Amino acid sequence: MQLTPLIAVHMTAAIGAVVTGPFALWARMGSMQRPWLHRAMGYAYATLMLLAAISACFIRDFDLPNFQGYTVIHLLIPVTLFSLWTAFRALANKDFVTHRITMQSLYVGACLIAGGFTLLPSRYLGNLLWHECLGWL
């Protein structure tokens, strides 16, 4: 798989979400809460996740086991979109517990777990990391 503009957009949005997510989560923890930082980082995180999910719809991989170019990881697209919708609906209903749980789960599932799978040697970023940068495999 080559680095196309679409993959570059997806990768930039995903890495941006991985970086901004902890700031949004941290800004509401502890006794000194920072609602302005939480809101700003939360909107940035949600926008980056939306961009990553939408761009992933157009990325197809025919090398891995797939169905018309869509692999198992593509199942995270509707999960991500539904999670974002649920989190913002919970905010509109002033259900902050559901909002918090949904956004924390989205970060762990989509950014950490799915992001970890991108570092496998058979994936594009994993190939860059393990073969090109480190030269281990």
Bridge partners for 70 per DSSP: 67
Instruction: Give the tens place of pLDDT for each residue, 3-52.
Output: 889 989 999 999 999 999 999 988 877 667 788 899 999 999 999 999 99
* Domain range annotation of the chain: 5-133
Q: Do the Cβ atoms of 124 and 3 come closer than 8 Å?
A: yes
Question: Is residue 137 predicted with pLDDT exceeding 60?
Answer: no
Q: How many residues belong to the chain?
A: 137
- Coil, strand, or helix at residue 95? coil
pLDDT surpassing 60 at residue 71: yes
pLDDT tens digit string along 76-122? Answer: 899 999 999 999 999 999 999 999 999 999 999 999 998 888 888 77
Please calculate the CA angle 3-5-7 and round it to the nearest 5 degrees.
Answer: 55
Residue 75 pLDDT exceeds 80: yes
| C-alpha distances out from residue 30 to 22, 26, 67, 100, Å | 14, 8, 46, 14
